Amino acid sequence: MKFFWSANVILLVFLHITPFSSQSQSANEAYNRGLQLMSTENYELAIEQFSAAIEMVPFFYEAFYERGRSYQQLGKPEQAIGDFTQAIKHDTTFAQAYYQRAISYSAIGEHNNALNDYTRAIENNPDKTQAYLKRSEIHLRNSSYKKAIDDLTTVLDSGHINPNVLFNRGKLNQQTGNPDLALEDFTKAIELDSLHSELRTERANIYISMQEYEKAVADLTVAIDEGVSAQNIIQQRADAAFDAGIYEVAIEDFTRLINSFRQRNEETYYKRAKSYYYSEEYEAASRDFTRVIGHNRDHEQAYLYRAESYYKMGRESQAMVDYRILMRRNPDNPLAYQKRAEMLLKSGKNEDALQDINKAIRLEPSADNFFIRAAVYAQQNNQRAACRDLKEAADLGHEEAGERFRRYCY
Protein backbone atom coordinates (compact mmCIF):
# COMPACT_ATOMS: atom_id res chain seq x y z
CA MET A 1 0.00 0.00 0.00
CA LYS A 2 2.86 2.24 0.85
CA PHE A 3 4.43 1.49 -2.54
CA PHE A 4 1.14 2.30 -4.33
CA TRP A 5 0.99 5.72 -2.66
CA SER A 6 4.57 6.53 -3.68
CA ALA A 7 3.86 5.55 -7.26
CA ASN A 8 0.90 7.93 -7.33
CA VAL A 9 3.03 10.76 -6.03
CA ILE A 10 5.61 10.08 -8.70
CA LEU A 11 2.87 9.94 -11.30
CA LEU A 12 1.46 13.29 -10.16
CA VAL A 13 4.90 14.92 -10.25
CA PHE A 14 5.49 13.48 -13.70
CA LEU A 15 2.17 14.84 -14.93
CA HIS A 16 3.13 18.34 -13.71
CA ILE A 17 6.71 18.32 -15.03
CA THR A 18 6.06 16.81 -18.43
CA PRO A 19 3.86 19.65 -19.80
CA PHE A 20 6.37 22.25 -18.55
CA SER A 21 9.33 20.47 -20.13
CA SER A 22 7.38 20.08 -23.32
CA GLN A 23 6.50 23.79 -23.21
CA SER A 24 10.16 24.76 -22.72
CA GLN A 25 11.13 22.60 -25.65
CA SER A 26 8.49 24.25 -27.81
CA ALA A 27 9.65 27.69 -26.66
CA ASN A 28 13.22 26.85 -27.64
CA GLU A 29 12.04 25.64 -31.02
CA ALA A 30 10.15 28.91 -31.58
CA TYR A 31 13.19 30.87 -30.41
CA ASN A 32 15.47 29.01 -32.85
CA ARG A 33 13.02 29.55 -35.69
CA GLY A 34 13.06 33.25 -34.81
CA LEU A 35 16.85 33.34 -35.04
CA GLN A 36 16.73 31.67 -38.46
CA LEU A 37 14.18 34.18 -39.68
CA MET A 38 16.37 37.04 -38.39
CA SER A 39 19.33 35.67 -40.34
CA THR A 40 17.26 36.00 -43.54
CA GLU A 41 15.98 39.46 -42.49
CA ASN A 42 12.37 38.29 -42.04
CA TYR A 43 11.98 40.37 -38.91
CA GLU A 44 8.18 40.48 -38.76
CA LEU A 45 7.98 36.67 -38.80
CA ALA A 46 10.88 36.46 -36.36
CA ILE A 47 8.95 38.67 -33.93
CA GLU A 48 6.01 36.27 -34.12
CA GLN A 49 8.24 33.34 -33.19
CA PHE A 50 9.94 35.20 -30.31
CA SER A 51 6.50 36.29 -29.06
CA ALA A 52 5.34 32.65 -29.12
CA ALA A 53 8.41 31.63 -27.14
CA ILE A 54 7.77 34.36 -24.55
CA GLU A 55 4.11 33.36 -24.25
CA MET A 56 5.18 29.83 -23.44
CA VAL A 57 8.05 30.87 -21.11
CA PRO A 58 7.46 34.41 -19.75
CA PHE A 59 10.98 34.72 -18.28
CA PHE A 60 12.72 33.77 -21.57
CA TYR A 61 14.98 36.85 -21.52
CA GLU A 62 16.98 35.81 -24.61
CA ALA A 63 13.73 35.85 -26.59
CA PHE A 64 12.96 39.35 -25.29
CA TYR A 65 16.45 40.43 -26.36
CA GLU A 66 16.20 39.01 -29.88
CA ARG A 67 12.69 40.37 -30.35
CA GLY A 68 14.07 43.77 -29.31
CA ARG A 69 16.80 43.49 -31.95
CA SER A 70 14.14 42.62 -34.54
CA TYR A 71 12.17 45.72 -33.59
CA GLN A 72 15.37 47.74 -34.00
CA GLN A 73 15.80 46.42 -37.54
CA LEU A 74 12.25 47.47 -38.34
CA GLY A 75 12.88 50.99 -37.07
CA LYS A 76 10.73 50.62 -33.93
CA PRO A 77 13.02 51.81 -31.13
CA GLU A 78 10.27 52.24 -28.50
CA GLN A 79 9.19 48.58 -28.77
CA ALA A 80 12.85 47.56 -28.78
CA ILE A 81 13.47 49.49 -25.55
CA GLY A 82 10.54 47.70 -23.92
CA ASP A 83 11.94 44.27 -24.82
CA PHE A 84 15.49 45.09 -23.78
CA THR A 85 14.13 46.35 -20.47
CA GLN A 86 12.35 43.03 -19.92
CA ALA A 87 15.54 41.13 -20.76
CA ILE A 88 17.47 43.25 -18.23
CA LYS A 89 14.81 42.62 -15.54
CA HIS A 90 15.46 38.89 -15.85
CA ASP A 91 19.25 39.33 -16.08
CA THR A 92 20.61 42.57 -14.62
CA THR A 93 24.13 41.76 -15.85
CA PHE A 94 23.08 41.38 -19.50
CA ALA A 95 25.71 43.75 -21.01
CA GLN A 96 24.55 43.32 -24.60
CA ALA A 97 20.98 44.22 -23.68
CA TYR A 98 22.18 47.46 -22.04
CA TYR A 99 24.22 48.19 -25.16
CA GLN A 100 21.35 47.62 -27.57
CA ARG A 101 18.91 49.57 -25.39
CA ALA A 102 21.39 52.47 -25.42
CA ILE A 103 21.33 52.43 -29.23
CA SER A 104 17.53 52.58 -29.21
CA TYR A 105 17.53 55.39 -26.63
CA SER A 106 19.84 57.41 -28.91
CA ALA A 107 17.50 56.72 -31.83
CA ILE A 108 14.67 58.54 -30.01
CA GLY A 109 16.92 61.32 -28.72
CA GLU A 110 17.20 60.15 -25.11
CA HIS A 111 20.97 60.49 -25.04
CA ASN A 112 21.39 60.66 -21.27
CA ASN A 113 19.58 57.32 -20.90
CA ALA A 114 21.81 55.96 -23.63
CA LEU A 115 24.89 57.24 -21.81
CA ASN A 116 23.80 55.45 -18.64
CA ASP A 117 23.19 52.22 -20.52
CA TYR A 118 26.56 52.29 -22.26
CA THR A 119 28.13 52.74 -18.84
CA ARG A 120 26.18 49.73 -17.48
CA ALA A 121 27.25 47.69 -20.50
CA ILE A 122 30.89 48.58 -19.79
CA GLU A 123 30.53 47.79 -16.09
CA ASN A 124 29.23 44.32 -16.95
CA ASN A 125 31.65 43.75 -19.79
CA PRO A 126 34.78 45.95 -19.58
CA ASP A 127 36.00 44.52 -22.89
CA LYS A 128 32.98 45.90 -24.75
CA THR A 129 34.90 48.05 -27.26
CA GLN A 130 31.82 49.25 -29.13
CA ALA A 131 30.27 50.52 -25.91
CA TYR A 132 33.29 52.75 -25.27
CA LEU A 133 33.14 54.04 -28.85
CA LYS A 134 29.41 54.77 -28.66
CA ARG A 135 29.75 56.38 -25.25
CA SER A 136 32.52 58.62 -26.58
CA GLU A 137 30.09 59.89 -29.23
CA ILE A 138 27.62 60.96 -26.54
CA HIS A 139 30.39 62.57 -24.48
CA LEU A 140 31.32 64.48 -27.63
CA ARG A 141 27.69 65.47 -28.14
CA ASN A 142 27.65 66.75 -24.55
CA SER A 143 30.93 68.64 -25.12
CA SER A 144 32.61 66.40 -22.51
CA TYR A 145 35.77 66.22 -24.61
CA LYS A 146 38.04 64.91 -21.87
CA LYS A 147 35.69 61.98 -21.18
CA ALA A 148 35.40 61.26 -24.90
CA ILE A 149 39.20 61.22 -25.21
CA ASP A 150 39.44 58.90 -22.20
CA ASP A 151 37.02 56.42 -23.81
CA LEU A 152 38.89 56.43 -27.10
CA THR A 153 42.17 56.02 -25.26
CA THR A 154 40.78 52.98 -23.43
CA VAL A 155 39.84 51.45 -26.77
CA LEU A 156 43.30 52.09 -28.22
CA ASP A 157 45.07 50.86 -25.09
CA SER A 158 43.08 47.63 -25.29
CA GLY A 159 44.80 46.88 -28.59
CA HIS A 160 42.04 48.08 -30.91
CA ILE A 161 44.39 50.20 -33.03
CA ASN A 162 42.10 51.56 -35.70
CA PRO A 163 42.79 54.57 -37.96
CA ASN A 164 39.27 55.94 -37.44
CA VAL A 165 39.61 55.79 -33.66
CA LEU A 166 42.97 57.57 -33.87
CA PHE A 167 41.42 60.08 -36.26
CA ASN A 168 38.55 60.84 -33.87
CA ARG A 169 40.87 61.20 -30.90
CA GLY A 170 43.14 63.42 -32.99
CA LYS A 171 40.25 65.74 -33.82
CA LEU A 172 39.31 65.93 -30.15
CA ASN A 173 42.90 66.71 -29.21
CA GLN A 174 42.84 69.43 -31.84
CA GLN A 175 39.59 70.87 -30.44
CA THR A 176 40.97 70.90 -26.90
CA GLY A 177 44.07 72.85 -27.92
CA ASN A 178 46.58 70.00 -28.12
CA PRO A 179 47.85 70.15 -31.73
CA ASP A 180 50.98 68.12 -30.92
CA LEU A 181 48.87 65.22 -29.63
CA ALA A 182 46.53 65.60 -32.59
CA LEU A 183 49.47 65.48 -34.99
CA GLU A 184 50.73 62.33 -33.28
CA ASP A 185 47.32 60.65 -33.62
CA PHE A 186 46.88 61.65 -37.27
CA THR A 187 50.37 60.45 -38.11
CA LYS A 188 49.79 57.05 -36.47
CA ALA A 189 46.47 56.77 -38.30
CA ILE A 190 48.08 57.61 -41.65
CA GLU A 191 50.66 54.88 -41.05
CA LEU A 192 47.70 52.47 -40.94
CA ASP A 193 45.78 54.05 -43.81
CA SER A 194 48.04 56.20 -45.95
CA LEU A 195 45.32 57.09 -48.47
CA HIS A 196 42.74 58.30 -45.95
CA SER A 197 41.83 61.68 -47.48
CA GLU A 198 40.22 63.25 -44.42
CA LEU A 199 43.19 62.28 -42.26
CA ARG A 200 45.49 63.95 -44.76
CA THR A 201 43.47 67.18 -44.86
CA GLU A 202 43.25 67.34 -41.05
CA ARG A 203 46.97 66.82 -40.64
CA ALA A 204 47.58 69.42 -43.34
CA ASN A 205 45.59 71.92 -41.26
CA ILE A 206 47.94 71.34 -38.34
CA TYR A 207 50.99 71.68 -40.56
CA ILE A 208 49.63 74.97 -41.90
CA SER A 209 49.08 76.26 -38.36
CA MET A 210 52.71 75.30 -37.63
CA GLN A 211 53.83 77.03 -40.87
CA GLU A 212 55.21 73.73 -42.19
CA TYR A 213 53.80 74.42 -45.63
CA GLU A 214 55.74 71.82 -47.62
CA LYS A 215 54.38 69.02 -45.41
CA ALA A 216 50.88 70.47 -45.77
CA VAL A 217 51.23 70.46 -49.56
CA ALA A 218 52.34 66.81 -49.48
CA ASP A 219 49.29 65.77 -47.44
CA LEU A 220 46.85 67.82 -49.52
CA THR A 221 48.33 66.34 -52.70
CA VAL A 222 47.54 62.82 -51.48
CA ALA A 223 43.97 63.89 -50.67
CA ILE A 224 43.52 65.52 -54.09
CA ASP A 225 45.05 62.52 -55.87
CA GLU A 226 42.52 60.34 -54.03
CA GLY A 227 39.67 62.30 -55.55
CA VAL A 228 39.06 65.19 -53.16
CA SER A 229 38.12 68.10 -55.40
CA ALA A 230 36.38 70.51 -53.03
CA GLN A 231 37.15 74.17 -53.66
CA ASN A 232 38.37 74.78 -50.11
CA ILE A 233 40.94 71.96 -50.38
CA ILE A 234 42.26 73.29 -53.70
CA GLN A 235 42.45 76.73 -52.08
CA GLN A 236 44.34 75.33 -49.08
CA ARG A 237 46.93 73.65 -51.26
CA ALA A 238 47.28 76.71 -53.48
CA ASP A 239 47.98 78.95 -50.48
CA ALA A 240 50.28 76.42 -48.79
CA ALA A 241 52.23 75.87 -52.02
CA PHE A 242 52.52 79.64 -52.47
CA ASP A 243 53.84 80.07 -48.93
CA ALA A 244 56.22 77.13 -49.38
CA GLY A 245 57.57 78.54 -52.64
CA ILE A 246 56.33 75.53 -54.63
CA TYR A 247 55.15 77.82 -57.37
CA GLU A 248 54.42 75.19 -60.03
CA VAL A 249 51.76 73.63 -57.77
CA ALA A 250 50.49 77.06 -56.73
CA ILE A 251 50.04 78.11 -60.38
CA GLU A 252 48.20 74.86 -61.15
CA ASP A 253 45.81 75.31 -58.22
CA PHE A 254 45.18 79.03 -58.69
CA THR A 255 44.46 78.32 -62.37
CA ARG A 256 41.98 75.63 -61.35
CA LEU A 257 40.31 78.02 -58.92
CA ILE A 258 40.03 80.62 -61.67
CA ASN A 259 38.83 78.32 -64.46
CA SER A 260 36.84 75.60 -62.69
CA PHE A 261 35.46 77.53 -59.74
CA ARG A 262 35.32 80.94 -61.46
CA GLN A 263 37.24 82.49 -58.59
CA ARG A 264 38.28 85.48 -60.67
CA ASN A 265 39.08 87.91 -57.93
CA GLU A 266 41.90 90.25 -57.05
CA GLU A 267 43.61 88.01 -54.49
CA THR A 268 43.64 84.86 -56.63
CA TYR A 269 45.04 86.67 -59.66
CA TYR A 270 47.60 88.44 -57.47
CA LYS A 271 48.93 85.23 -55.92
CA ARG A 272 49.06 83.52 -59.29
CA ALA A 273 50.83 86.55 -60.73
CA LYS A 274 53.48 86.44 -58.00
CA SER A 275 53.86 82.69 -58.52
CA TYR A 276 54.51 83.32 -62.21
CA TYR A 277 56.92 86.13 -61.29
CA TYR A 278 58.99 83.98 -58.93
CA SER A 279 58.94 81.19 -61.53
CA GLU A 280 60.47 83.74 -63.96
CA GLU A 281 57.43 83.52 -66.24
CA TYR A 282 57.30 87.29 -66.59
CA GLU A 283 54.91 87.48 -69.54
CA ALA A 284 52.25 85.48 -67.70
CA ALA A 285 52.99 87.43 -64.52
CA SER A 286 52.48 90.80 -66.25
CA ARG A 287 49.13 89.63 -67.64
CA ASP A 288 47.90 88.64 -64.21
CA PHE A 289 49.17 91.83 -62.58
CA THR A 290 47.18 93.71 -65.23
CA ARG A 291 44.07 91.74 -64.18
CA VAL A 292 44.75 92.66 -60.56
CA ILE A 293 44.98 96.33 -61.48
CA GLY A 294 41.72 95.95 -63.40
CA HIS A 295 40.10 94.89 -60.11
CA ASN A 296 41.88 97.51 -58.04
CA ARG A 297 43.47 100.62 -59.61
CA ASP A 298 45.17 101.44 -56.30
CA HIS A 299 46.98 98.11 -55.90
CA GLU A 300 50.51 99.48 -55.47
CA GLN A 301 52.24 96.09 -55.25
CA ALA A 302 50.72 95.04 -58.57
CA TYR A 303 52.20 98.12 -60.28
CA LEU A 304 55.60 97.44 -58.70
CA TYR A 305 55.68 93.78 -59.73
CA ARG A 306 54.37 94.52 -63.21
CA ALA A 307 57.06 97.15 -63.66
CA GLU A 308 59.68 94.61 -62.54
CA SER A 309 58.23 92.02 -64.92
CA TYR A 310 58.36 94.47 -67.83
CA TYR A 311 61.96 95.37 -67.02
CA LYS A 312 63.03 91.71 -66.83
CA MET A 313 61.47 91.20 -70.27
CA GLY A 314 63.51 94.13 -71.61
CA ARG A 315 60.52 96.46 -71.81
CA GLU A 316 61.98 99.34 -69.80
CA SER A 317 59.69 101.99 -71.20
CA GLN A 318 56.60 100.12 -70.00
CA ALA A 319 58.22 99.67 -66.60
CA MET A 320 58.84 103.42 -66.42
CA VAL A 321 55.17 104.06 -67.18
CA ASP A 322 54.11 101.88 -64.26
CA TYR A 323 56.53 103.63 -61.87
CA ARG A 324 55.20 107.02 -62.96
CA ILE A 325 51.58 105.90 -62.46
CA LEU A 326 52.41 104.56 -59.02
CA MET A 327 54.30 107.70 -57.95
CA ARG A 328 51.45 109.83 -59.16
CA ARG A 329 49.00 107.80 -57.11
CA ASN A 330 51.24 107.71 -54.05
CA PRO A 331 54.21 110.12 -54.05
CA ASP A 332 55.29 108.76 -50.65
CA ASN A 333 55.85 105.15 -51.61
CA PRO A 334 59.57 104.55 -50.85
CA LEU A 335 59.62 101.17 -52.61
CA ALA A 336 58.64 102.75 -55.92
CA TYR A 337 61.64 105.11 -55.79
CA GLN A 338 63.92 102.29 -54.61
CA LYS A 339 62.92 99.92 -57.40
CA ARG A 340 63.13 102.57 -60.10
CA ALA A 341 66.55 103.60 -58.74
CA GLU A 342 67.74 99.99 -59.07
CA MET A 343 66.46 99.83 -62.65
CA LEU A 344 68.09 103.15 -63.56
CA LEU A 345 71.37 102.06 -61.96
CA LYS A 346 71.43 98.88 -64.04
CA SER A 347 70.76 100.99 -67.13
CA GLY A 348 73.73 103.25 -66.32
CA LYS A 349 71.56 106.28 -65.55
CA ASN A 350 73.40 107.10 -62.32
CA GLU A 351 72.21 110.68 -61.79
CA ASP A 352 68.56 109.71 -62.18
CA ALA A 353 69.15 106.72 -59.95
CA LEU A 354 70.71 108.96 -57.28
CA GLN A 355 67.71 111.29 -57.30
CA ASP A 356 65.33 108.37 -56.82
CA ILE A 357 67.31 106.65 -54.06
CA ASN A 358 67.70 109.96 -52.18
CA LYS A 359 63.90 110.27 -52.18
CA ALA A 360 63.60 106.65 -51.03
CA ILE A 361 65.98 107.30 -48.12
CA ARG A 362 64.09 110.42 -47.06
CA LEU A 363 60.90 108.36 -46.95
CA GLU A 364 62.49 105.23 -45.47
CA PRO A 365 66.12 105.26 -44.28
CA SER A 366 66.50 101.48 -44.51
CA ALA A 367 69.59 99.29 -44.83
CA ASP A 368 68.63 98.32 -48.39
CA ASN A 369 68.27 101.92 -49.49
CA PHE A 370 71.65 102.96 -48.09
CA PHE A 371 73.23 99.92 -49.74
CA ILE A 372 71.74 100.87 -53.13
CA ARG A 373 72.92 104.48 -52.79
CA ALA A 374 76.40 103.18 -51.93
CA ALA A 375 76.29 101.30 -55.25
CA VAL A 376 75.30 104.50 -57.08
CA TYR A 377 78.16 106.44 -55.46
CA ALA A 378 80.54 103.64 -56.36
CA GLN A 379 79.48 103.96 -60.01
CA GLN A 380 80.22 107.67 -59.75
CA ASN A 381 83.65 106.88 -58.23
CA ASN A 382 82.68 108.69 -55.02
CA GLN A 383 84.37 106.26 -52.63
CA ARG A 384 83.99 108.38 -49.50
CA ALA A 385 80.22 108.69 -49.95
CA ALA A 386 79.95 105.01 -50.92
CA CYS A 387 81.83 103.90 -47.78
CA ARG A 388 79.74 106.18 -45.61
CA ASP A 389 76.56 104.57 -46.92
CA LEU A 390 77.99 101.05 -46.65
CA LYS A 391 78.80 101.75 -42.99
CA GLU A 392 75.26 103.07 -42.45
CA ALA A 393 73.73 100.00 -44.13
CA ALA A 394 75.99 97.65 -42.14
CA ASP A 395 75.02 99.32 -38.87
CA LEU A 396 71.37 98.69 -39.80
CA GLY A 397 72.10 94.97 -40.22
CA HIS A 398 72.92 94.60 -43.92
CA GLU A 399 75.47 91.74 -43.98
CA GLU A 400 76.74 92.25 -47.54
CA ALA A 401 77.24 95.96 -46.85
CA GLY A 402 79.41 95.04 -43.87
CA GLU A 403 81.54 92.70 -45.97
CA ARG A 404 82.02 95.30 -48.70
CA PHE A 405 82.83 97.98 -46.16
CA ARG A 406 85.58 95.82 -44.66
CA ARG A 407 86.91 94.94 -48.12
CA TYR A 408 86.89 98.33 -49.81
CA CYS A 409 86.82 100.99 -47.15
CA TYR A 410 90.01 100.35 -45.15
Within a domain: 310: yes
Residue with the bigger pLDDT between 286 and 11: it is: 286
Per-residue pLDDT of 8-21, as tens digits, reads 333 333 333 344 45
Share of the chain above pLDDT 70, in %: 94
CA distance 94 to 291: 71
The mean per-residue pLDDT over the stretch 162-166 comes to 97
Q: How confident is the model at residue 122 (pLDDT cuts 50, 70, 90)?
A: very high
61, 87 contact by CB (below 8 A) = yes
Query: Mean pLDDT across the chain, nearest whole number?
Result: 94
Among 83, 110, 125, identify where a domain stops: 125
Helix (H) and strand (E) counts in the chain: 23, 0
CA distance 208 to 219: 11
Sequence-distant (≥ 6) Cβ neighbours of residue 13 within 8 angstroms: none
Residue 299, Ramachandran bin (φ over 0: left; ψ between -120 and 50: alpha; else beta) = beta
Per-residue pLDDT, 21: 54
Within a domain: 253: no
Per-residue pLDDT of 178-231, as tens digits, reads 999 999 999 999 999 999 999 999 999 999 999 999 999 999 999 999 999 999
- Residue 49, pLDDT > 50, answer yes
The mean per-residue pLDDT over the stretch 152-180 comes to 96
Q: How confident is the model at residue 167 (pLDDT cuts 50, 70, 90)?
A: very high
Per-residue pLDDT, 92: 97
Within a domain: 380: no
250, 217 contact by CB (below 8 A) = no
Q: How confident is the model at residue 22 (pLDDT cuts 50, 70, 90)?
A: low
Range of the domain at 51: 23-125
The mean per-residue pLDDT over the stretch 362-390 comes to 97
Quote the number of domains for the chain.
Answer: 2
Within a domain: 360: no
Within a domain: 303: yes
Between helix 163-175 and helix 179-192 the angle, nearest 10°, is: 170
The mean per-residue pLDDT over the stretch 19-42 comes to 86
How does DSSP assign 88-131, residue by residue? HHH-TT-HHHHHHHHHHHHHTT-HHHHHHHHHHHHHH-TT-HHH
Q: DSSP secondary-structure letter at 409?
A: -
Q: Which CATH number fits the domain that encloses residue 121? A: 1.25.40.10
Within a domain: 230: no
For the ranges 10-14, 177-181, 287-291, 304-308, the lowest mean pLDDT is seen at 10-14
Per-residue pLDDT, 223: 98
Within a domain: 202: no
The mean per-residue pLDDT over the stretch 271-277 comes to 98
Sequence-distant (≥ 6) Cβ neighbours of residue 302 within 8 angstroms: 270, 273, 289, 292, 293, 296
Among 278, 309, 329, identify where a domain stops: 329
Q: How many Å from the N-terminal Cα to the C-terminal Cα in the chain?
A: 142
Per-residue pLDDT, 410: 77
The mean per-residue pLDDT over the stretch 280-304 comes to 98
Per-residue pLDDT, 25: 83
Among 101, 125, 149, identify where a domain stops: 125
CA distance 255 to 238: 9
Q: Torsion angle, CA of 353/357/359/364, rounded to 10 degrees? A: 160
Within a domain: 61: yes
Residue 91, Ramachandran bin (φ over 0: left; ψ between -120 and 50: alpha; else beta) = beta
Q: How confident is the model at residue 5 (pLDDT cuts 50, 70, 90)?
A: very low
